[in-house]
Chain A
Amino acid sequence: MSRIAFPYPTLFPHVRQQGCWEASIDGNQRLFREGSGSWDYDCHLEVGCRLPWTPVTLFEQADLGPLLDGARLAVVISTGSSEGTGRRFVATDLPVRDCLPDDDGEGTTVRINLESACLCNRIKACLYIYSAGGEIAGINLLSGSILYREEATLQLEGDLGSFPIRSLGFSSHNLGSGLWLVDCQAESPEDPLISSVVLLLNSDRPEFIEQLQSESEQTGILRWAIRSDVMASALSWLLLNDELSFDVNLEWPDGSLGAIAIGWLSSLGVNRQAALQQLIEEMRREPGRFRQRCQSACALSAEDAP
């Protein structure tokens, strides 16, 4: 239902319910209002809108039958963190006649594939039905007159923490073989974790990456091993590197390497400087035992995950 009136008859008064917008992200179906969950620039993204009506019946109900043949349906996508800096493009534009009813005959679904690499932050999808012009009940319609419009927004990026992961050909970067590498580079514990630690997966071993991705979040053994290795490697690098001067008693900025490390240390039962010194000693003398403690902490984390 529109809150504004156009200078000609439209479909608005006859649409009782908006379409149901959903996204398929790497095969994972999500309603727009649920956000993307996990998305990145490599994701396969398909957007669908199921309209609870078919164009033919709707045009008949609205007494706009004469306009049906010249009417078109378009979806315009806007993306970016603001209208001013974002990008806007027509994702689809087709004759309404080509929008076939769904199998149940009660609605019509419009589907479009979007290239994730061209998107950012969020997408706003605007569905238009517009006329090529004509006359209805004595009123002339100009070409491009909007007969119906609705929009929906899908949030692509939010605050669901995402760990920096990249795939990389190890052999072409002088890294030899191996499955993964936890690379740490920071000048201070104040540096953001997402720019300080990165998990590199060896793209020379696609079967490994495939297996890792196919594992369950809760029960995947490989994922568990990697989570604990990330924690152990990053903590070792931070705590054994005197140049970084990490202090467990200091308050580090949110999202910083220091702040995340304090959380990890807490899960290991280390909350004071004296306990931290003992842990550092353990890292040096019994690194295997330290890594096992990280495995234990990561197992708890996984079980606690929603």
Chain B
Amino acid sequence: MNLIRLHSEPFSRDGNIAADGAARLLGQPALSPLELVIRETIQNSWDASLQTEGTPRYSIRVRHLESSQIDAMRSFFQELPPQLANEPIAGLIRRFLASSGLVMEICDACTQGLDGPTSASRSLQEGESANFVNFIRNIGSARDMAQGGGTYGFGKSSLFKISRCQTIIVHSAIGAGDGLEHRLIGKALGAAFDHGGRRFTGRHWWGALGDEDSGSVDPVLRSPAAELAAALGFQERTTHEQRGTSLMILDPDLEEFDPSGNFATSPPTEIRNHLGARLQDTILWHCWPKFTRRDDGSIPMECHLSILGDDYPLPDPSTIQPLWLMTQALASARAKDDPIHCQRPKMRLGFFGQSRASIELVADERFRRHLGETGLIPEQLHHVALLRPAELVVRYLEGSINEGEQLQWAGVFITDIGENAEVEKAFAMSEPPAHDDWQPKAAQALTPHQRTYVNVALNRIRERIRSLSGSDIRQGRLSGGEARSSLAALAGDIGRSLIGAGPGGADGNRSGRGGGGGGGGRRASLRLGSPASEGTSLVNGQPVARFRIRLSGPADTTPSISFTPWVQMDEGTKDPVAPNGKAPQVIGVEIDSQPVPYGERGYVCTASSGGTDIQILVSIPDYVAVGITAEIVQGGEG
């Protein structure tokens, strides 16, 4: 008796998401279906390995089902959506079952497997995993995993997109005590349809009849699941190290197997080699960090490829020209020597690594020989790979070959985690469902700070790209010996008309002193002008300096004036004593060649209309310059 039942999901009274709608949740990524599948599955496998010990193994097996396996498949799909319904899945599966049974099996091992409850309606116990329901039942469940690769859970729709019958069969072996528990279920994402007066979403599951009255199916469990998996040709899983999940994609849409395509008449060897190169090239370009050895020699992940029975080992990325530049840059970024910071708010955003090499190096031809221009790994690198701590390539930012120095280059940026993982969350939340970009503008859930982190990091990375490309125009140097003409006048013209005042040219000190006016009606007050030197001569063998000071003010006033000579020092200060210890002295004061006597009030001078010139004679005690300060100490008016 066949234990496999079909459950086609009906719309509930409250509505559901239709299967075709779910498939569109991936958005419009720029990647091909095969690239999406590889990125998504390696990411899933990596995330599933974080809780387990040992090096996770990822493998892809493309094969034709054996006749016994086709029989098992026919038995598995005994129940199909009703033929009368406008749902293409039934016809597509029938066509597959009548074909040579091409499948692409994507497996991981040393991973956690799809564990946890099998019913999406059951609440989770603390610490309980929801891997099964998130992958098999739910749509768009956020994944909450430290340093994981994904966050939305929409990417799995890529698996259905690449299947020509939009159908996969999932076999998972999870830990159960000392042994393994096997789970097996089929799933298809078709299109919404009507049947028997009911509307259905187009999501279908094939499994064992569930306990609930809803008609839902559960995965086939334990021994029956293991037996069914073996009958369908799934990879054997009997030991603890073989824990993990296998995804069998029915009738994968691979150009090498398109009956009307370029390979329609090609021999199997060419088909195998082409597909092998395609998978190797795609895996390496999108996921090379996962297969690049760490400093301690360990490798994050192992990979095995099998095409129609032949093995295609994945080459070490560090042996592929020019991909080895990326591995060098990754080592540098892993060393965390070159951090990238955000200044406002202060936060370390990640680490940058770079590597450069001559553009003369000949590119590795092993993939290009088969793939031609459709290969993903470029002949010359001028790219920065953006990674989160999980070290999965989110995307590449491209610059250009540094023509000036004839260099190609590679850069790697790995985001930091930050306090409370705030930095990593910022980058993770800015990724679209396909995890192939950082789009802070589109990510509404980001806080302003998180948006700033992503924007600043991208700006800093673009600056590095400009520098590596030799197109950093802000740092551009003029070639040696090039005559330069000043652009100051032009800069001033444009500056004054566009920005007005600001740092730039000078217009001198035109402020003027004036103010003028004022005081016209006031009585002029006594005032002494500044002393002026009138020369030096010998008087009785002593050098004597003569100063002139003009006294102005009301006529016939007789102010008393004090004169204080000083020595001018080098640093601009005034000192009463010369270096030889002697002080300059006032040895005479004259007005119109008549001596002014020194009395009790000091030197009493008489002001005259039009001003009075006072001559002061000062002895110079050493080979020094001297000056004099004059001050009216008593007005002498009236």
- Interface residues in chain A, defined as those with a beta carbon under 8 Å from any beta carbon in chain B: 1-10, 12-13, 25-26, 28, 31-44, 116, 122, 137-139, 142, 154-169, 172-175, 181, 183, 185, 187-188, 193-194, 198-201, 203, 209, 212-213, 217, 223, 226-227, 230-231, 242-243, 255, 260, 263-264, 298, 301-302, 305
Contacts and interface: CB of A to CB of B under 8 A. Distances in A.
Contacts of B451: 243
B488 A39 contact: yes
Identify the interface centre among B472, B620, B623: most chain A CB within 10 Å of its CB.
B623
Contacts of B506: 35-37, 39, 122, 155-160
Interface stretch (B231-239, B265-273, B286-294, B532-540): B532-540
B552 to A, nearest CB: 17
Interface stretch (B66-74, B323-331, B418-426, B491-499): B491-499
B536 A40 contact: no
Contact of A160 (B496, B498, B537): B496
A162 B492 contact: yes
B603 interface: no
Contacts of B122: none
Contacts of B403: 172, 174
Interface string B460-489: 000100000111111010110010111111
A137 B537 contact: yes
B92 to A, nearest CB: 44
B411 to A, nearest CB: 17
A230 B344 CA distance: 28
Contacts of B485: 42, 167, 209, 213
A227 B497 contact: yes
Contacts of B622: 7
B473 A183 contact: yes
B501 A159 contact: yes
B562 interface: no
Given A12-B533, A38-B489, 13 more contacts: A7-B536, A10-B535, A10-B536, A38-B504, A122-B506, A138-B538, A155-B507, A157-B506, A160-B496, A160-B507, A167-B485, A185-B459, A223-B493
Contact of A9 (B463, B488, B536, B547): B536
B490 A213 contact: yes
A160 B495 contact: yes
Nearest to B547: A5
Query: Interface extent on B, as a size class?
Result: 35 or more
B318 interface: no
Nearest to B546: A5
Contacts of B484: 42, 167
7 contacts: A10-B536, A37-B505, A38-B489, A167-B485, A187-B344, A230-B498, A260-B498
Contact of B501 (A160, A173, A183): A160
Nearest to A160: B505
Contact of B533 (A4, A167, A201, A255): A4
Contacts of B624: 7
Contact of A162 (B476, B479, B505): B505
A31 B506 CA distance: 12
B471 A213 contact: no
B503 A194 contact: yes
B488 A42 contact: yes
A116 B485 CA distance: 12
B510 interface: yes
Nearest to A264: B498
B497 A302 contact: yes
B491 A162 contact: yes
A161 B501 contact: yes
B81 interface: no
Contacts, number: 255
Contacts of A167: 478, 484-485, 487
Given A174-B469, A203-B482, A213 B489 contact: yes
Contacts of B620: 5, 7
B474 A183 contact: yes
A159 B473 contact: no
B532 A2 contact: yes
A164 B491 contact: yes
B535 A3 contact: no
B581 interface: no
Contacts of B533: 1-6, 10, 12-13
Nearest to B541: A138
B119 interface: no
A114 B595 CA distance: 51
Contact of B500 (A41, A157, A161, A168): A161
Contacts of A138: 538
B545 A165 contact: no
Given A40-B486, A174-B471, A183-B474, A161 B536 contact: no
A200 to B, nearest CB: 6
B474 A5 contact: no
A148 to B, nearest CB: 11
Contacts of A5: 533, 535-536, 545-547, 618, 620, 625-627
Contacts of A169: 476, 478-479
B488 A33 contact: no
A200 B625 CA distance: 55
Contact of A165 (B491, B510, B536): B491
Contacts of A165: 487, 490-491, 494
A262 to B, nearest CB: 12
B487 A166 contact: yes
Contacts of A302: 497
B628 to A, nearest CB: 8
Contact of B473 (A12, A26, A163, A181): A181
Contacts of A44: 486
Interface string B530-561: 11111111100001011100000000000000
Contacts of A159: 501-504, 506
B504 A162 contact: yes
